[in-house]
């Protein structure tokens, strides 16, 4: 059994650096995991602790507002879970129940996730089920945010390779840097990269007449293209407000689309070559063994 998720721990601190509340967000899509974290951070900065308010903070409203029309239409199986001290406090969709077991174990020994995995094994053993858990992870985002400057490091998964890129944001005379803004920009880049790959692969299938212009896959690609334009606008608006430096360079979504088209072309060529070779072998076998 394989259980996959994106996971983000959000410690919400006061001006003295004391952690007032801490949440764990898990989700299927990386960008929405980050966007929900941004909403929680912004809400905490505006009005303090989320769980002890006269009018309870609505995780449902937060989730509904951050999901794009494209996500709602084409990612019906998306899910998200929010935990506080190991307890599930909000959930959408159908995440695997195993994840809640891990969060309960992690809450008993915070800061040692590997220890939580070991504890989960022992918990299953106590229930009469011997389970061996193998855990692997990859860091997709690293953020350091201060009032005057913020840094972000993101993973860039293109069809051909996986690399990273970094950016530095400096406070302008008119606008102070807010941590939730950096989260949202990271989410925009990660979502844009993902959409660029899907658009490019669909484009090449259409070019090679493997799908129709009005097929479900191309309709999704057209919707993704519109969403990509929204993300580009969001990123450019942020860049116009602040001084941003990229290293090695800013990922261009149009280039990612082109790379994905080339990658899909290679997959199609490989599939055709394999089919032709198999057909040739079948023909030779039929000739050598006539009925």
pLDDT digits (tens, 9 = 90+) for 101-130: 889 989 988 778 888 888 888 888 888 888
Q: So what's the pLDDT on residue 24? A: 96
Q: How far, in Å, CA of 221 to CA of 207, rounded?
A: 13
pLDDT for residue 291: 59
Write the DSSP symbol of residue 147. S
For the chain, the 3-state helix, strand and coil shares in percent, each to the nearest 5, are 50, 20, 30
Distance CA 67, CA 142 (A): 22
Tokens of 216: 């479900």
pLDDT reported for residue 167? 96
Q: What does the pLDDT average to over 217-234? A: 96
- Model pTM above 0.95: no
11 to 8, 118, 182, 271: CA distances (angstroms): 10, 24, 16, 48
Q: What is the pLDDT of residue 147?
A: 78
Query: Please, how many CA atoms are within 13 Å of residue 55, restricted to the half-sphere of its CB?
Result: 3
pLDDT tens-digit profile of 246-268? 998 899 999 999 999 999 999 99
Under a CB-based contact definition with an 8 Å cutoff, are residues 33 and 26 in contact?
yes
Higher pLDDT, 212 or 76: 212
Q: Assess contact for 210 and 267: CB atoms under 8 A.
A: no
Share of the chain above pLDDT 70, in %: 99
Which tokens in the block code for residue 148? 């005057």
- As to burial, measured by CB atoms within 10 angstroms (0-12 exposed, 13-18 middle, 19+ buried), residue 155 is middle
Say whether pLDDT at 172 is over 80.
no
For 7, 13, 87, 140, 155, the CA distances from 4, given in Å and listed in that order, are 10, 29, 19, 14, 17
Q: 131 versus 262: which is more confidently predicted?
A: 262
Work out the average pLDDT over 146-167. Answer: 87
pLDDT at position 119: 87
Q: What pLDDT sits at residue 86? A: 94
């Amino acid at each position: 059994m394989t259980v996959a998720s994106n996971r983000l721990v959000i410690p919400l601190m006061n001006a003295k650096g004391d952690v007032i509340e801490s949440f764990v967000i898990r989700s299927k899509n990386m960008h929405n995991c980050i966007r929900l974290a941004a909403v929680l951070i912004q809400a905490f900065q505006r009005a303090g602790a989320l769980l002890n308010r006269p009018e309870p903070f609505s995780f449902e409203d937060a989730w509904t507002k951050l999901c794009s029309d494209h996500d709602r239409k084409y990612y019906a199986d998306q899910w998200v879970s929010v935990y506080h001290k190991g307890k599930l406090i909000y959930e959408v969709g159908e995440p695997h129940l195993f994840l809640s077991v891990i969060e309960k174990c992690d809450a008993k020994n915070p800061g040692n996730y590997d220890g939580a995995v070991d504890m989960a094994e022992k918990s299953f053993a106590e229930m009469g089920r011997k389970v061996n858990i193998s855990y692997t992870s990859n860091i997709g985002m690293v953020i350091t945010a201060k009032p005057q400057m913020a840094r972000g490091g993101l993973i860039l998964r293109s069809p051909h390779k996986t690399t990273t890129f970094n950016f530095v944001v400096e406070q302008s005379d008119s606008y102070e840097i807010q941590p939730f803004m950096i989260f949202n920009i990271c989410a925009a880049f990660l979502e844009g990269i993902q959409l660029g790959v899907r658009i490019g692969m669909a484009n090449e299938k259409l070019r090679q007449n493997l799908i129709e212009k009005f097929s479900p896959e191309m309709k999704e690609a057209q919707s993704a293209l519109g969403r990509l334009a929204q993300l580009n606008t969001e990123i450019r608006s942020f860049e116009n407000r602040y001084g941003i430096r990229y290293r090695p360079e800013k990922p261009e979504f149009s280039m990612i689309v082109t790379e994905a088209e080339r990658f899909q072309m290679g997959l199609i060529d490989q599939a055709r070559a394999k089919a032709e070779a198999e057909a040739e072998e079948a023909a030779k076998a039929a000739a050598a063994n006539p009925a």
